[in-house]
Amino acid sequence: MTTATTLEVRKTRKPWTPSQIVLTLLGVAVSAVFVAPIAAALFTSLKSEAEAAEIPPHWLPEDWTVQAWQALWETGNVSNWFVNSLVVSVLVTAVVLTVSALAGYGFARTEFRGKSIVMGVVMAGLMISPAVLGVPLFTTVQQMGMVDTYWGMILPQCAPAAMVYILYKFFQGIPKELEEAAFIDGAGRWRVFFTVILPLSRPSLAAVGIFTFISSWNNFLWPYMVTNNPDLMTMPNGIATVMNSYGIQWAQLMAGGLMAGLPLIVVFVFFQRQIVAGVAHTGLAGQ
Amino acid sequence: MTTTSAETVIAPARSKTVARVATVRRKQGFQHGGWFIAPFLVLFVLFVIWPLLRGVYLSLTDANISGDGANFVGLDNYREALGDSAMWDALGHSAYFTLLVVPCITVLAFLLAMLAHSIERGKWLWRLCFFVPFLLPSTVAANMWQWLFTQGIGLFNETFGLTTPWLTDKSYAMFALVIQTLWWTVGFSFLLYLAALQSIPAHLYEAAKLDGANAWHRLVHITLPMLRHITGLVVALQILASLQLFDQAVVMMDFGPGPELSTRAFVQYTLEQGFTSYRVGYASAMSIIFFVIIAAVALGRMVLLRNREESAR
């Protein structure tokens, strides 16, 4: 599972061979295609609205201006949406990490009556998402009086069977002897969980945390269903629904989109290694 | 002699330890097992199991959005749904989208991973470039491409010298969604492939080289077989994700169902029935039908995998 990280150890510099030159050029070309839409969005956000709607379009702004970014910041609810996104994503991540670490450990290392049945039901839950059961989930949340509240946005995102499964698989791989040594020294279950298991699981917990944060920050469907109040919307939501309803102002829309996307790109640049290892880990754990 | 006496001394101590561990295991586990699971289970029951059961109940009624005055109507909603050509169209769009996206994404992700894996320099750069679209919120990625595809002001046609009405003609709208989705989501599968490639032991390739295998042979006889598991996973995850098509279709088509309803996906139609037409009972019946479809796909995959493993043995 840790292969992705261990194999990244720096190799000594090799000389350029013809095949490496060709491959690198190919890599540059393909990367350019991938980055082009983001670059186009960035350039558009630096045009005036009139220039953004010009026919025929051109890539680079003729007059560089930050007017779209300014207008967005001054008139829109962007700062509100940003805070909402942050609150929702951080809380979802915290709750998911807590409950799925506990549950993963419970399933991996403890016995209780009916465990296999409960596990079967939870695994079946892997197939259920807000997309699959949108309307009944909405009426349930409505019944609890949580439409247009933070809790209504947060709690339904907090029962991801997939994360429990990933941590369950990981905990199963920790040698039992480690815990037993602590038991013999008189430590209880909870103490072992907090002082032995959790410190050993940091990479897995990081992966689960990062992925929960990414998917929560980017979640559109659920906040879209459960919020009508623009003050409560999250970033991706507000940008898509409210800004579209003004009539599309492309420069502002692109500026807003980049603002919504930027935090995760920064997170990726800093946590690249953990994210790559996390993808590898979560992916392979699914087998 | 000394060894046996040492053993006789140690053995009882060891068996005592083993017995102690066994009782500790039983007692501790039994006492606390349930409490570890409880917090998750509460959330899981409230927001997964209960909505599912509620969905089954609602699907048997003519409930509207307020939930008042619902009458029991038996299987009428299901009967109506199965005879509803709009539902079949929507299901068809989701299935067609899945059929187009899954093979493309699998091949593209593999090729990108091979490329990034083979270049010796700047690995982080390739990873960043290919993965970065996946980090954008779905609505942002969709807005970007909506703009790129808009006739007249969009850079896509301009760059390639086309005049295609991507978003307004029903023969192109689905392809616009597919192109956008490939760009936006291929990064995730790319990383899965990249991780799998990095975990293939290098000595396999060295041994093959010594035996005179060329690059093509190494690809066909080592790389591809070693990637079989990950390919199965990529395909399965992509099928489930693509069937749930919603975000990009809705946003790129200006929150509508696309030209001549051509991109209205199953999830979209369900939500329209629930939130626009206020037919919660009917929408719930469709949600349950969708749940059954997803479950069938997931079970089908499990059965296929099991058969394959058994035949491999």
**DSSP letter assigned to residue A113:** T
**CA pair distance A201, A171, nearest whole angstrom:** 8
Best B139, B162, B293 member to test A by mutation, with max A CBs in 10 Å, is B139
Query: How high is the pLDDT of residue B292?
Result: 93
The string of DSSP letters for B43-105 reads HHIIIIIHHHHHHHHHTTB---TT-TT--B-TTHHHHHHHT-HHHHHHHHHHHHHHHHHHHHH
Between the alpha carbon of residue B44 and those of residues A282, B25, B145, B244, B298, the distances in Å are 21, 27, 36, 21, 20
Inter-chain CB proximity B115 and A225 less than 8 Å:
no
| Positions in chain B short of pLDDT 50 | 1-10, 28-30
What is the structure's pLDDT at B43? 95
Distance (Å, whole) CA A192 – CA B294: 39
A100 in contact with chain B, both atoms CB, cutoff 8 A: yes
A contacts of B50 (beta carbons < 8 Å): 140
Question: How far, in Å, are A229, A234, B57, B88 from residue B252 at the CA level?
Answer: 22, 19, 34, 22
When CB atoms are compared, the residue of B132, B140, B145 closest to A239 is B140
Selection from A209, A207, A177 nearest residue A192 by Cα: A177
Phi and psi at A83, nearest 5°, equal -65, -45
Nearest to B24 by CA among A190, A174, A196, A184: A184
For chain A, what's the residue count? Answer: 287
In sequence order, the 6+-apart residues with CB closer than 8 A to the CB of A68 are A45, A46, A47, A48, A49, A52, A249, A251, A252, A254, A255
Report pLDDT for B151: 86
CA–CA distances in Å: residue A165 to residues A122, A205, A282? 9, 12, 9
Distance between CA atoms of residues A193 and B261, nearest Å: 54
Rounded to whole angstroms, how far apart are CA atoms B279 and A17? 65
Q: Record the tokens describing residue B294, joined without a space.
A: 């997803």
Is the CB of B137 less than 8 angstroms away from the CB of A220?
yes
* pTM across the whole model: 0.86
Q: Which residues pair with B8 in a beta bridge?
A: none
Q: Which of B40, B121, B132 sits opposite A24 (nearest CB)?
A: B121
A131–B244: do the CB atoms touch at under 8 Å? yes
Can the peptide bond before residue A56 be classed as cis, meaning omega within 30 degrees of 0?
Answer: yes
CA dist., res. B48 & res. A161, Å (int): 10
Q: How far apart are CA A251 and CA A244, in angstroms?
A: 12
Contact at 8 Å (CB) between B281 and B62? yes
Q: What is the dihedral of CA B108, B113, B116, B120, to 10 degrees?
A: -140
pLDDT in tens, chain A (287 residues): 444 444 445 555 667 888 899 999 999 999 999 999 999 999 999 999 888 888 888 899 988 999 988 888 887 688 889 999 999 999 999 999 999 999 999 999 888 888 889 999 998 888 888 888 889 999 999 989 999 999 999 999 999 898 998 899 889 888 888 888 888 888 888 888 998 899 988 888 988 898 899 889 999 999 999 998 888 999 988 888 877 676 778 898 899 999 999 888 888 888 887 777 777 666 544 33
Task: Count CB atoms within 10 A of the CB of residue A250.
Answer: 23
CA A277 to CA B191: how far, in whole Å? 9
Q: Report yes or no: A39 and B129 within 8 Å, Cβ to Cβ.
A: no
The helices-and-strands tally (H runs, E runs) of chain B is 15, 0
Backbone phi, psi, residue A44, to 5°? -60, -40
String of b and e for B179-211 (b: at least 16 CB within 10 Å)? bbbbbbbbbbbbbbbbbbbbbbeeeeeeebeee
**CB-CB neighbors (< 8 A) of B51 in chain A:** 133, 136-137, 139-140
Contacts A–B by Cβ distance under 8 A: 319
CB < 8 Å to B233, chain A: 283, 286-287
CA dist., res. B136 & res. A266, Å (int): 11
Question: What residues of chain A, 165 to 224, have a C-beta less than 8 Å from chain B?
Answer: 180, 183-184, 188-190, 193, 214, 217-218, 220-221
C-alpha radius of gyration, chain B, whole number: 27
**Alpha carbon of B227: minimum distance to chain A alpha carbons (Å):** 11
In degrees and rounded to multiples of 5, residue A253 shows phi and psi of -60, -45
Q: Is A66 on the interface with B (CB under 8 A)?
A: no
Quick check: helix, strand or coil at residue B151? coil
Tell me if A47 sits within 8 A of A251, measured CB to CB. Answer: yes
pLDDT of amino acid B66: 67
The complex scores an ipTM of 0.86
Chain B residue with Cα closest to A211: B135
